[in-house]
Amino acid sequence: MTNFPVLSAIVFVPLLGAVGALILPRLAGWGWALLASLVDLALALLLIPRLGTGTTHMLALNEHMPWLPDAGISYTLSADGINLFLICLNALLTVVAVGASFGVARSGDRPRQYLMLMLLLSFGMQGVFLATNLFLFYVFWEVMLVPAYLLVGMFGGPQRGIAAIKFVLYTTAGSLLMLVAIIATGIEVSSTHHTAFTLDLAALLNAGVPGNVQTVLFLGFAAAFAVKAGLFPLHGWVADTYSETPVAVLVLIAGVMAKTGVYGFVRFCLPLFPQGVHSLAPIMETLAVASIIYFALEALVALDFMRLLAYVSISHLGVIVLGIFALNTQGIEGAIVQMINHGIIIAALFLIAGAIEARTGTRRLADFGALATKLPWLATVFMIAALSALGLPGLNSFAGEFLAFLGTFQSSIVFGVLGTLVVIPAAWYMLRFFQGAMEGVTPEGGAVASARVADLRVGEWLPLLPLLALIIFLGIVPNTLTAPMQQPVGEIVSSYAPATPSAFEAPGANGHVHVYHPIQVQTIQTQTIQTRHIYVLQMTNALASGEREQARVGA
């Protein structure tokens, strides 16, 4: 089993599914697509025991194959605690999205293309999450865009064409700059160290990017990532795209694709350009805070609930960016946790919004009221998702936001406070949406008053259930997510923190340099870190470490 190229399988199973979905007729194609996405999910989940132990290094599990060696291009996939759950998320949301597309498959327009593109999108995103050769990453990055463009444009609302082209132009503008930065990174590394041109992340990390160019290179990468994450002021595409896209597609676009941007920051920018990131972190944090607050306010006054959710989504992505650029363990871990949580929640919210729109035919908030009397289960599900979205402690989003804000606060009190402030408008706009739709009085004569009264059907329940389960489960035990990323995140943070040994810091942060071996297909294990059972008496150390922590933060 160790020789089985599981990472490649994870990437290419959706492609297989796409091919089948294109060939097979309606429901057979749907079944095939669902099967493929389930297999993909199973494969992704199988990785958890291998990488979820908390002791695997960054880029621990690798698959490597030369591609265009002269140009430093290789087919290299890597998995570790950072992308582990993002892969799972993508696989899960693909299942959800395919599952939610049953109606299209049964009686919708162009079902084969629809399912094919959806799986193609999933394929691209798995690739983005797994690729660690910069070229390969870029390939997948753009491959992901094609089905997204077609899905929005072919199956979207009345303004779909404009929305799709806007989406593509925004994202391409960013990614083309990233392309330049990718090449420049390879060139700078090879010319500084007089080595062969390579774009393997591991090799680049081992060599190190020269400090003087890091800022510029970072900006190149950041352009692509920030656009994808809808960071203020590069968000122009988001609201239009989200409000035009069919919800099952949005599950993938908002749920997963938006994460690729923030993932890119963690995977590439932070380890590769520590100096650049360090010098520009305040700007990124400022933008993140601006995103958070600005989009929260926009969500507060949105008239249409799809746009509202779009703003909600990017406002929360701002939190993730904020956490990442806190550049400490809590911030980054919180950001990654939040990537997962955000994916789950936003997918659930969009599914719910879609269910509401399907029943009422409108998305104007003013048209709504008292739907809960007709749709109690929908209201319940909506409530849970909304509560999670507004960061209710005890549900999944809280854990990630908490860590992200905590990290931010430790690196900068001002940004921490400003970022945390979002919890107030978050509660406001989510309740405005929830209560506006579900509670109060139905406006007379509106579309809602005469809406169909059927509550959630089985076909709508099934995609939502796993999401709800995760919303609750990950709220109770967020450690499931953070444990595997301790080591890799520690290694990232080690380039930012002074090498102070600390009993509570991950070993990678001890100034110990880890050498990444992308070539061997193996999982690198170090000595087991002592398990962290916390007992009351052990807490006696806490204060001492707290002081160190303070010193570290102050420095």
Partner 1 sequence: MVNLTPFILLLPLVGFAVLGLVGRVLPRAAISLIGCGVVLAAFVLAVIDFFSMLGVAPEARFSDVLPWTWVTSGSVTIPFGLLSDPLSAVMLLIVTGVGFLIHVYSIGYMEGDPGYWRFFSFLNLFIFAMALLVAADNFLMLLVGWGGVGLASFLLIGFWYTRPSAVAAARKAFVVNVIGDFGLLLAIFLIVKDFGTLQYIPLIVHPASAGTALPSLPLPFPDATAIALLLFVAAAAKSAQLPLHVWLPDAMEGPTPVSALIHAATMVTAGVYLVARASAIFTASPTALAIVGIIGGATAFMAATIACVQTDIKRVLAYSTMSQLGYMFMGEAAGGFSGGIFHLTTHAYFKALLFMAAGAVIHALGGEQDMRKMGGLRGRLPQTFWLFVIGGLTLAAVFPLSGFWSKDGLLSAVLEKAQTGGGTGWYVLYAVGLFTAILTGFYIFRLIFGIFFGRYRGGAIAAHGAAPAKRGGTRDPLANVHEVGAAMMVPMVVLGILSVIGGFYGTPWSDWIGQFLEPVTHTTNTGIAPGNGLFWLAFVLGLVTGPIGIAIAWARYAQREPRFGASRNPLVILLQHKYYIDELYDAVIVVPIVSLGVFWRIGLEGGFFEGGSLGLGHLVGGISRGLRRLQTGYARNYALAILVGAALLLVYYVIHP
Partner 2 sequence: MIFAATSPFTYTPSLTDWLRIVPELILLAAALLTLLADLVGSPGRKGWLAIIGLAGAICALVATQMLWVGGSIGEAFYGMVNDDYVSLFANIVILFALGIALLFSPGYIERQGITHEGEYYTLLILAALGMMVMSAASNLMVIFVGLEILSLALYILSAIVTTRRRSQEAGMKYFILSSFASAFLLYGMALTYGATGSTNLTAIRTFLSSHGTFPLGSGFGPLLLVALGLMAVGFCFKVSAVPFQAWTPDVYVGAPTSITAFMSVGTKVAAFVGLVRVFFFALPSLSVEWQPVFWVIAVLTMIGGNLMAASQRDVKRMLAYSSVANAGYMLIAVATHTQAALQGLFIYLATYAVMNLGAFGVVLAIERRDGQGTTLDDFAGLGRRHPALAALMALFMFALAGTPATAGFIGKWYVFYAAMTGGHTELAIIGVLASLIGVYYYLRVVWAIYFTEPATAPLLVLAEEPTPEREPAATTTAGGGVALAEPATAAQPTTSTKVLPADRHTTHPATWLGLALAGVLTIALGIVPMLMVEWALAAAQTLFK
- Interacting residues toward partner 2 by CB under 8 A: 67-68, 70-71, 110, 135, 138-143, 145-146, 149-150, 153-154, 160-161, 164-165, 168-169, 172-173, 176-177, 179-180, 183-184, 187, 197
Residue ranges of E strands in 373-504:
none
CA 67 → CA 133, 166, 179, 198, 255, distances in Å?
11, 33, 18, 11, 31
* CB-nearer residue toward partner 1: 22 or 468: 468
* CB-nearer residue toward partner 1: 155 or 237: 237
Residue 461 near partner 1 by CB under 8 A: no
* CB-nearer residue toward partner 2: 93 or 151: 151
| Nearest distance, CB of residue 243 and partner 1, angstroms | 12
* Binder of partner 1 out of 236, 282, 443, 446 (CB under 8 A): 236
Please tell me the distance from the alpha carbon of residue 4 to that of residue 380, in angstroms, as a whole number.
43
Torsions phi, psi of 11, nearest 5?
-70, -40
Residue 161 near partner 1 by CB under 8 A: no
* CB-nearer residue toward partner 1: 69 or 161: 161
Binder of residue 551, out of partner 1, partner 2, none (CB less than 5 to 8 A by kind): none
Binder of residue 424, out of partner 2, partner 1, none (CB less than 5 to 8 A by kind): partner 1
Residue 504 near partner 1 by CB under 8 A: yes
CB 81 within 8 A of CB 56: yes
Which residues, numbered 513-532, are part of the site for partner 1 (CB under 8 A)?
532
Residue 534 near partner 1 by CB under 8 A: yes
Which of helix, strand or coil describes residue 88?
helix
* Binder of partner 1 out of 69, 161, 211, 546 (CB under 8 A): 546
Residue 553 near partner 1 by CB under 8 A: yes
Binder of residue 492, out of partner 2, partner 1, none (CB less than 5 to 8 A by kind): none
Residue 512 near partner 1 by CB under 8 A: no
Cβ burial of 4 (10 Å; 0-12, 13-18, 19+) is exposed
Binder of residue 304, out of partner 1, partner 2, none (CB less than 5 to 8 A by kind): none
* Binder of partner 1 out of 131, 438, 467, 471 (CB under 8 A): 438
* CB-nearer residue toward partner 1: 27 or 465: 465
Binder of residue 28, out of partner 2, partner 1, none (CB less than 5 to 8 A by kind): none
Please tell me the distance from the alpha carbon of residue 553 to that of residue 409, in angstroms, as a whole number.
10
Beta-carbon neighbour count of residue 241 at 10 Å? 29
Please tell me the distance from the alpha carbon of residue 305 to that of residue 340, in angstroms, as a whole number.
23
Q: In angstroms, what is the C-alpha Rg of the chain?
A: 23
Residue 372 near partner 1 by CB under 8 A: yes
* DSSP structural state of residue 516: P
Residue ranges of E strands in 35-184:
61-68, 73-79
Torsions phi, psi of 544, nearest 5?
-55, -45
Three state DSSP letters for 297-321: HHHHHCCEHHHHHHHHHHHHHHHHH
Binder of residue 405, out of partner 1, partner 2, none (CB less than 5 to 8 A by kind): partner 1
* CB-nearer residue toward partner 2: 138 or 221: 138
Which residues, numbered 59-78, are part of the site for partner 1 (CB under 8 A)?
none
* CB-nearer residue toward partner 2: 128 or 349: 128
* CB-nearer residue toward partner 1: 479 or 522: 479
| Nearest distance, CB of residue 540 and partner 1, angstroms | 5
* DSSP structural state of residue 442: P
Which of helix, strand or coil describes residue 98?
helix
| Nearest distance, CB of residue 111 and partner 1, angstroms | 33
| Nearest distance, CB of residue 143 and partner 2, angstroms | 5
| Nearest distance, CB of residue 138 and partner 1, angstroms | 24
* CB-nearer residue toward partner 1: 284 or 509: 509
> 390-395 contacts: CB < 8 A, separation 24 or more?
390/423, 390/426, 390/427, 390/430, 390/431, 391/423, 391/426, 391/427, 394/475, 394/476, 395/471, 395/472, 395/475
* Binder of partner 1 out of 57, 112, 160, 166 (CB under 8 A): 166
The closest alpha carbon to 119, from 11, 266, 7, belongs to 11
CB 242 within 8 A of CB 329: no
Beta-carbon neighbour count of residue 61 at 10 Å? 21
Residue 511 near partner 1 by CB under 8 A: no
Residue 259 near partner 1 by CB under 8 A: no
Please tell me the distance from the alpha carbon of residue 348 to that of residue 44, in angstroms, as a whole number.
21
Residue 329 near partner 1 by CB under 8 A: yes
